[in-house]
Structure 1
């Protein structure tokens, strides 16, 4: 197994780096490097820049309008954009629902939905979790009843990320009650402008409105929006979740944030403290180990071998690393990390009162990343899956 990049791959990396340098707006990268709030316009602006280049669907095959990159090229693209300070691509459209539509949707659905995802024009949300049905997703209760050429949908989804911006939402809905819970679930695409769809914000500990509750009250959905076969949605969901859990690992963002930890530690005068340096070293070892694990998977794919079934393991380690680097930033800043005034941050003057301005978002980041070990399948559940599928 060779984990070194070839000259051709290094050349590809340089091409990506040069293009990103020329096209990533500086005001957006500055926000990312300093963990400041990104607006919908910021995220959509970068998505459309990538879409115009044909790279928003960077993991797509050429037959669906993607660049047709191999696994190594996709990894290098993710790494270079992350290190440059590009926002994460909102994954629900290009990374999650698009592969499901490609694999299980019919030709009409592919022609209808994929172009808007690829261009960045259409914002998608994910309707999976419900009150009482998160890690135990098979127990979901949102009901879709077939009435002629329509489904009538009633129920509730929760923790729906950025649903306040959503144009469309892909949902797991219950269409049958016979047999195991998994056998009565279908995969439905719903226009969020449909009558009966309402979104209610959930304000988090950091004061941000990132997640929502979504309610469906007798929402009429054309039957043509059903992906694949009725009651086969669990199969499609598992296909999607492997993409989500790998995406959560986000080793490239971890590498960027590791450098941010070092910058903050140096600026706050704790980088020379040997015990603090030990903690940074431990984090760096974990980040390198996670990257090696990712590269092992990519190496297997590149050589045509079956890649390791370790999406859950990547999710576990990646989410724990995200929490750890946020903790170290807080420790480095000390009491200056405690005050958190969103309005002051937006006004740009908080740093004058509580220390350097780059410390202002640290509490927000810390609070926000508490959730990473829960969403996408809690780490406790993922450990059980890894034990069954990897260890045997």
Structure 2
């Protein structure tokens, strides 16, 4: 495993740094700093996405023939690492990293020409219609129905935990088109074009952190053209699994985790331990911090191993599940330690103070403002994109042969 960057890779890294230095403005950076969930506040993320799109970098994983930069796996890793280190906001990936690759692989020529350019530009905002009440990790049990009526499907049912559905104008959705045979065999993958269509209702779900990030979406006799079907009818399970490879396998956790550790160390160096010393010098706290940092270093090596394999054309396989488990749990541990480090200042609920442009003064030091909301938000990290219990089952089956 050769981890040394080539001269071309170093030149690319410098190009990324120059772009960030020029385009990452103070207000976008502030919006990123105040973010507590996996994505920045919507209008902040969209502004950054527009800058990336103007450069041709809005879809790092896309090949040149579909408008992407055609980067190598190493270049994608460099780009992610440099953006994370600089504090750039995380942008919505439902279009670029989920439905986009699906359309490239399964979509018709008409679907590709219609949707892919609008995904690249950020003109369309997509949300994901997978989970339902009672059908989360057991996705095959979904009940939202799509009944054929001439050239349309008529959809009835509900989706839940739909991230940023309040901002979306399109949804990619799993629906049941047959009740015969195995549960997986009656599912289809369909695109819902008009999210303002009659019969669609978006109800907010406010998280423990006080944020409106997720929603429940209801469908009542919603008509969708049959032409919006992706792949064959009743074969949506195959399409869905392909999409999940990108949702689970496209993440690199370690750059963001290293940034979180640096932040945590700075917080602990400024907070007292209750005995007249700095928290960072407290042996018990320092030991817990070192344990998490060691786990992150081990994860980084695994990610770089997968990166080297990808550069040789190999797929991550079960390593994607390993990275998801280790990355999400390290994220939770780091957030928990940060909330503990700020002590009593983690208690106040300060939604207004962490809203971009509010000018509401924070209670306590700035570094305490997002500590508790991030800790609460990150409790979901071991559930979304496939719960860690499911990921461990995959590892047990494919790696350990159990």
Shorter-normalised TM range: over 0.9
- Provide the rounded CA distance (Å) in 1 between the counterparts of 2:269 and 2:314: 44
2:263 to 252, 260, 270: 260
- Provide the rounded CA distance (Å) in 1 between the counterparts of 2:252 and 2:114: 31
CA RMSD of superposed structures (Å): 1.6
Partner of 2:18: 18
Cα shift at 1:348: 4.1
Tell me: CA distance 1:9–1:322, structure 2 relative to 1, closer, same or farther (3 Å).
Answer: same
Cα shift at 1:306: 4.9
Answer yes or no: is the 8 Å Cα contact 2:205–2:213 preserved in 1.
yes
Q: Name stretches of at least 5 consecutive residues in structure 1 with no aligned partner.
A: none
Answer yes or no: is the 8 Å Cα contact 1:186–1:232 preserved in 2.
yes
Give TM-score, length-normalised by structure 2: 0.93
- Provide the rounded CA distance (Å) in 2 between the counterparts of 1:250 and 1:147: 45
The answer to whether residue 245 in structure 2 is matched with residue 245 in structure 1 is no
Specify the SS of the correspondent of 1:163.
coil
- Provide the rounded CA distance (Å) in 1 between the counterparts of 2:252 and 2:282: 29
Cα shift at 1:172: 0.5
Cα shift at 1:104: 0.4
Partner of 1:270: 279
Specify the SS of the correspondent of 1:165.
coil
Partner of 1:141: 143
- Provide the rounded CA distance (Å) in 1 between the counterparts of 2:128 and 2:150: 26
- Provide the rounded CA distance (Å) in 1 between the counterparts of 2:317 and 2:5: 20
Tell me: CA distance 1:36–1:174, structure 2 relative to 1, closer, same or farther (3 Å).
Answer: closer
- Provide the rounded CA distance (Å) in 2 between the counterparts of 1:32 and 1:276: 28
Partner of 1:94: 96
Cα shift at 1:308: 4.0
Answer yes or no: is the 8 Å Cα contact 1:172–1:187 preserved in 2.
yes
Partner of 1:39: 41
Greater percentage in helix? 1
2:295 to 286, 290, 313: 286
Answer yes or no: is the 8 Å Cα contact 1:323–1:369 preserved in 2.
yes
Partner of 1:201: 204
Partner of 1:7: 7
- Provide the rounded CA distance (Å) in 2 between the counterparts of 1:364 and 1:110: 39
Specify the SS of the correspondent of 2:57.
coil
Tell me: CA distance 1:77–1:344, structure 2 relative to 1, closer, same or farther (3 Å).
Answer: closer
- Provide the rounded CA distance (Å) in 2 between the counterparts of 1:248 and 1:67: 18
- Provide the rounded CA distance (Å) in 2 between the counterparts of 1:265 and 1:222: 56
- Provide the rounded CA distance (Å) in 1 between the counterparts of 2:317 and 2:187: 28
1:315 to 294, 315, 324: 324
Answer yes or no: is the 8 Å Cα contact 2:36–2:374 preserved in 1.
no
Specify the SS of the correspondent of 2:198.
coil
Tell me: CA distance 1:126–1:265, structure 2 relative to 1, closer, same or farther (3 Å).
Answer: same
2:81 to 79, 83, 89: 79
The answer to whether residue 224 in structure 2 is matched with residue 224 in structure 1 is no
Q: Deviations over 1:130-174 (max 9, x none)?
A: 000000000000001111111101100000011100010000000
Cα shift at 1:11: 1.9
Partner of 1:178: 180
Give TM-score, length-normalised by structure 1: 0.96
Cα shift at 1:93: 0.5
Q: Deviations over 1:297-340 (max 9, x none)?
A: 11012123454432211111111011011011012111111212
